[in-house]
Structure 1
Amino acid sequence: MKELDYQRVLPGFQPIIDIARGAVVGHEVLARERLDDGSLISLGDLFYETPGHSRALLQLDRHIRSMAVDQLKTHPHGFISLNISPDWISQLTAWTTTPLLQMLQRSGIDPSRVIIEITEQKGTVETIRRVVERYREEGYRVAIDDFGAGNSHMHRIMELEPDILKLDMKLFKQAANSGKHYDLVHSVSALAEKTGCQLVCEGVETAREFEFGLELGASWMQGYLFSPAQAEFLPPDAYGEQISALRTQFLENKIAHHKQQLNFDQNTEQVLMKLVAACRSKDHWSDITLPADSNVLKFYLCSSDGTQISDNYEVTPQGIVSNNSVLGTNWCWRPHFYQLLASRETSDQQFVSSDYYRDIQMKQLCRSYVTRLQHNQYLFVDVLQPEES
């Protein structure tokens, strides 16, 4: 660990933005060093490169936390988020209290104004659970940081039940900017929603990443789009106008996309209606022709119990090709099928559609549609869906 002049070391405060309220609601505390020109540089590499048992690093960390808590006493708004490492937690021998708990209790700070942020990718579930339980007993909220990195597993979150879940920055940026891990990140978002966690996106640097964060349901964000870590706390209204403009752009983009989707749905419905008529009128479904831009992938017939009683009729550039490899498969478990059966009073032409899913072979976004073709026969149609840009 390099020699540090403690006169230059200070906490940096990166604002955490509540997008729904358009306000700075808290700050994450980060280790910073002030240079001769007054600028701040990160000391984060020290915490990654230095072994976790370094006494000097531990003293530095406690020094920065203590300074941050002292500054919080003079700031009337919001909370601070303090990082703690399971590497150090694992060294504790007494769990009734910890050095951080003692420092916070001495400070007299309301526990609601402090979030304890734990790096989830390190440490055992048992160790982290003990930490989470102890701090929550004292009234502190607990965040799991870097979720999705390293050996993260979703079942660990179910075990820990944190108050806040912070997405791994690298994973978030990959999903937002290149599409990689897009569905994985959405599954993390769904997990946070189902478990009652506040989802936070950090590392937000562009309007595109901001919009992706909103799409995930993360109403809290932080990153250079707003501000790097500063030496001082920022007032709640520091980014009100910027956030308002970003939300407006997000809304306009979503409205435009939804209009496109409605047009696509209307066109798809027209194609499906023609397909139903053709299936009723033709003895050989391989003779059916569809518009080149129909996006229909395949269609097939099922009995009233969901058993497939026809070949798959797959749409190819050469025409419709039959495939009997799945004949006899039962699809009663598909929600759109039993939803249709539950509403028998609807007309024969009315389709019920599935949720969006990604086709296993093509890795493209699809939906399945089903309607009653005859009294006890049901037509299933798989349709390729437009990807959101």
Structure 2
Amino acid sequence: MWSMLMRKFRRFPVFSLDKRQWMKNVIHQEVGKGKRVIMFYVDIVKLTEVENRYGDVIAKRVLHIFERILPHVSRQVFEIRGNILAIQKLWGDDFAIYVSFGGDVNEEDCRMLSIHFQEQAEKQLNRQVSFVNREELRVHIGYAAISGQDIVKEMYTSVKRAAHMAKYGITSETYTHVTQFHQVLAEENVTMNFMPIVHLPDGETLGWEALARGPEGSPFATPSMLFRYAEETDTVFRLEHICRKRALEQLRYVKPQQKLFINLDPRAIDDPFLLRGEVFARFEQYGLNPYNIVFEITERHAISNYAVFRKIIEEYRKKGYLIAVDDAGAGYSSLESITEIYPDFIKLDMSLIRNVDVDPIKQALLETIVQFAEKVGCKIIAEGIETGRELETLIEVGVTYGQGYFLGKPDKGMGHASGQAMNFLRTMQEKKASVREEPFLFTPAMSEILAKTITVEKHVKVRRVHEIFEQNQRIESVVVLEEGRPVGLVMRFALYQVLGGQYGIALYYERPVSQIMNANPLIVTKDDKLDEVARRAMTRDAYHLYDVVIITGVEGEYIGIVTVQSLLDKMASIKLEMASSANPLTGLPGNVQIERELNKRIKQQVSQMVIYCDLDRFKWFNDRYGFETGDQIIVRTANLLKEAVMRCGSGDDFIGHIGGDDFILITKAAGADELISFLLEAFPLFFADIYEKRGLGEGAILSMSMAGVCMIPGLYENVEAIAERAAYVKKRAKELPGTVFLDERDCAADETHQTQV
């Protein structure tokens, strides 16, 4: 009798937490035999209510009865398929039953065994509990597998998981879904779709936001349901970790100038995967760096401790990652997040974007946010753009980047803006260009302000670059070359930020500089226009806003750098010069700029047409109708020339105001015919309202004489020669009636004919 009791005791041990090592060894042995160990979690539903209603004595009696019947029901149910290893009392009325099964047991088997156990436990418990006036007692049950990889950890997590499952009820649909969700996590059965984020001024793709999707056809196919079950089961960190891994698997499709936006829940931010070596090895493999990754700090949950959170964020920054505040404007503490985190990007929630085209309050708020972002040096991304009118309004208020179904839907591949969106943006560009106020600013080439800095080859170690900065305190940049061509840039502050991290020197000091350089610096040619380079420089991300600009020659070879400060200084100098020498009435470049432009174009090896424009009978109009009308005619003529260039020009045209009613227009010879045809057709109608107001007949209307001089490379040595020839052709043109254009080649033919006669 005693020996039989001892055998039963050994089969059903009840032990405390100090026996975890013993349990670990037992599970390890079973897993080693190829067995599958399942932990079944059971408890009595609402035992606390029983205690409150009937007292502590009755509650303890119920618990004592449950403890007594537990071994019997466990043997009755589980030993049909498996072997009971142990029954562990966790706390109060919560128990864990560890059962070893053959390898063929599946999820449905565990579910059916759980249902059977629940039925038998409730039946026996209610039969032995005899107090009156009560509802029948219920039992919760859930289960979780222990794989044996980290048994101590799994003993804890399995209880947690099974307890979550148990609270829904073993036969409920939610319980089934929770079981399926845990299976999704176990198999990491998560895929990523990618939504393009577009640079609104030109439609270029800044990057993509990675969006999680569960298995197709499952309850978790949408991200909202996927993360809802993660919240329910307290597995947000686990799910986000899987999502980040899946997103980073697509790094090979990202170009050096593009970015991958990855969501990061504040509660799951401290992910070692992102701050250790594995992910950095992928950057090295694909020629990228952490600058290509933007972590979106989602506003779904408020940040409770900014001091700790900010410290973790700084670790990401030191590694080179960029930061965005997501869902700004949707609630919680968006403004506090922005002021505490100092993000590189602010993503505006779709609630601010929806119907913004008809909501003046939202427009005013957006204008304020845009101005704020410009002052603090971060970029705005508008989310949820769904109509052309919303997009147009966002462009008008100055929003730089956007995403939404109108621009491009999420897809498994990394697509770009849709054809519909690109056509719309092109139309917007044309519309904006047609009203541009200052299209003819003279700017010199980049070669006029370039400087030099130290260069290194891409295989040089980071240690050497650090030594260069230490030995040359006045330089702020080192250009990285490959066979004489620039392939990267290292700024002093960026290098010190990387090396200043906790593991910076250990990780990078002896590695090639190519692993930490900015692989997508701004590179321009020596002949690029200064104003265009300045515009491109100032639209870079805040982190790289003050990086130097690299200058290359005709063959792409490195020849120097330009600092942002020198760019801005030169632009300010040019605008000051323009303001002092431009015509005060039309604002067009005056004679100083005209002469400089002609000298520059004489040196170019491209055939160009110089058109000298002179109004006929202007003095008569000015004397008869006064200076106000005369000024109106001059300004309108300037606007006509601008419109001609906008509609028919080559994109590199120049308009100057010589003085009075004389203008000069320079365009490429190849496209001059269309521009001239437009002027000949449009000029007679351009002053119709003035004629009507003054009651003038056809004999008193204005006309314009245009003289064309073709600047063939090598034909004219200086500006004086062009001016002399243009004056002669203009004189011949004014001998003809009405608005006319006379080409110098026509004059040359007449001269030849007269000589022959």
Matched-pair contact (CA < 8 Å) for 1:85–1:119: yes
1:101 aligns with 275
Matched-pair contact (CA < 8 Å) for 1:82–1:117: yes
Please list the CA deviations of residues 208-249 of structure 1 after superposition, one character each: whole Å capped at 9, or x if unmatched: 1111221232221111012221111126xx546732433424
Q: How far did residue 164 of structure 1 move?
A: 0.6
1:115 to 278, 294, 310: 294
Please give the alpha-carbon distance, in whole angstroms, between the structure 2 residues aligned to 1:168 and 1:181.
Answer: 12
Matched-pair contact (CA < 8 Å) for 2:191–2:213: yes
Please give the alpha-carbon distance, in whole angstroms, between the structure 1 residues aligned to 2:262 and 2:421.
Answer: 27
Please list the CA deviations of residues 85-139 of structure 1 after superposition, one character each: whole Å capped at 9, or x if unmatched: 11223xx5xxxx7333235334335112111110246204334422332211100
2:261 to 75, 81, 86: 81
Show the 5 A alignment for 1:48-197.
48=228, 50-51=230-231, 54-55=234-235, 57-76=236-255, 78-89=258-269, 92=270, 98-102=272-276, 103-108=278-283, 109-120=288-299, 122-124=302-304, 125-154=306-335, 156-197=337-378
1:283 aligns with none
Please list the CA deviations of residues 5-39 of structure 1 after superposition, one character each: whole Å capped at 9, or x if unmatched: 457530111111122342222110111135369xx
Please give the alpha-carbon distance, in whole angstroms, between the structure 2 residues aligned to 1:9 and 1:232.
Answer: 15
Matched-pair contact (CA < 8 Å) for 1:22–1:244: no
Please give the alpha-carbon distance, in whole angstroms, between the structure 2 residues aligned to 1:166 and 1:255.
Answer: 30
Please give the alpha-carbon distance, in whole angstroms, between the structure 1 residues aligned to 2:231 and 2:198.
Answer: 33
Matched-pair contact (CA < 8 Å) for 1:202–1:223: yes
Please give the alpha-carbon distance, in whole angstroms, between the structure 2 residues aligned to 1:215 and 1:48.
Answer: 37
The SS at the match of 2:231 is: coil
Q: What one-letter code is carried by the residue in structure 2 that aligns with 1:51?
A: E
Q: What one-letter code is carried by the residue in structure 2 that aligns with 1:195?
A: V
The SS at the match of 1:100 is: helix
Matched-pair contact (CA < 8 Å) for 2:386–2:405: yes
1:201 aligns with 382
Matched-pair contact (CA < 8 Å) for 2:196–2:205: yes
Q: What one-letter code is carried by the residue in structure 2 that aligns with 1:101?
A: L
Identity %: 29
2:606 aligns with none
The SS at the match of 1:189 is: helix
Any stretches of 5+ residues in structure 1 without a counterpart? 259-389
Matched-pair contact (CA < 8 Å) for 2:348–2:383: yes
1:229 to 403, 410, 433: 410
Q: What one-letter code is carried by the residue in structure 2 that aligns with 1:62?
A: H
Q: Over aligned residues, Cα RMSD in angstroms?
A: 3.3
Greater relative contact order structure (CA < 8 Å, 6+ sep): 1
Please give the alpha-carbon distance, in whole angstroms, between the structure 1 residues aligned to 2:263 and 2:334.
Answer: 20
Task: Sort the Cα spacing of 1:156 and 1:75 in 2 relative to 1 into closer, same or farther, 3 A.
Answer: closer
Matched-pair contact (CA < 8 Å) for 1:22–1:240: no
Matched-pair contact (CA < 8 Å) for 1:174–1:180: no
Matched-pair contact (CA < 8 Å) for 2:348–2:381: yes
Matched-pair contact (CA < 8 Å) for 2:253–2:414: no
Matched-pair contact (CA < 8 Å) for 2:194–2:211: yes
Matched-pair contact (CA < 8 Å) for 1:29–1:80: yes
Show the 5 A alignment for 1:17-56.
17-35=198-216, 41-48=221-228, 50-51=230-231, 54-55=234-235
Task: Sort the Cα spacing of 1:45 and 1:209 in 2 relative to 1 into closer, same or farther, 3 A.
Answer: farther
Matched-pair contact (CA < 8 Å) for 2:188–2:242: no
By percentage of residues, which structure has more helix? 2
Please give the alpha-carbon distance, in whole angstroms, between the structure 2 residues aligned to 1:182 and 1:48.
Answer: 33
1:220 aligns with 401
Q: How far did residue 176 of structure 1 move?
A: 3.9
Please give the alpha-carbon distance, in whole angstroms, between the structure 1 residues aligned to 2:309 and 2:232.
Answer: 16
Please give the alpha-carbon distance, in whole angstroms, between the structure 2 residues aligned to 1:71 and 1:54.
Answer: 27
Matched-pair contact (CA < 8 Å) for 1:143–1:162: yes
Please give the alpha-carbon distance, in whole angstroms, between the structure 2 residues aligned to 1:48 and 1:177.
Answer: 34
Show the 5 A alignment for 1:266-281.
none
Please list the CA deviations of residues 258-296 of structure 1 after superposition, one character each: whole Å capped at 9, or x if unmatched: 9xxxxxxxxxxxxxxxxxxxxxxxxxxxxxxxxxxxxxx
Q: What one-letter code is carried by the residue in structure 2 that aligns with 1:190?
A: Q
Matched-pair contact (CA < 8 Å) for 2:210–2:247: yes
Please give the alpha-carbon distance, in whole angstroms, between the structure 2 residues aligned to 1:76 and 1:43.
Answer: 27
Show the 5 A alignment for 1:331-370.
none
Matched-pair contact (CA < 8 Å) for 1:24–1:239: no
Please give the alpha-carbon distance, in whole angstroms, between the structure 1 residues aligned to 2:368 and 2:228.
Answer: 28
Please give the alpha-carbon distance, in whole angstroms, between the structure 2 residues aligned to 1:75 and 1:153.
Answer: 29
Please give the alpha-carbon distance, in whole angstroms, between the structure 2 residues aligned to 1:69 and 1:191.
Answer: 32
Please give the alpha-carbon distance, in whole angstroms, between the structure 2 residues aligned to 1:52 and 1:211.
Answer: 41
Matched-pair contact (CA < 8 Å) for 2:190–2:246: no
Any stretches of 5+ residues in structure 2 without a counterpart? 1-176, 438-757
| Mapped pair 1:246 → 2:425 | yes
Q: What one-letter code is carried by the residue in structure 1 that aligns with 2:241?
A: R
Matched-pair contact (CA < 8 Å) for 1:211–1:250: no
TM-score by length of 1: 0.55
Aligned length: 246
Please give the alpha-carbon distance, in whole angstroms, between the structure 1 residues aligned to 2:397 and 2:232.
Answer: 33
Please give the alpha-carbon distance, in whole angstroms, between the structure 2 residues aligned to 1:185 and 1:195.
Answer: 15
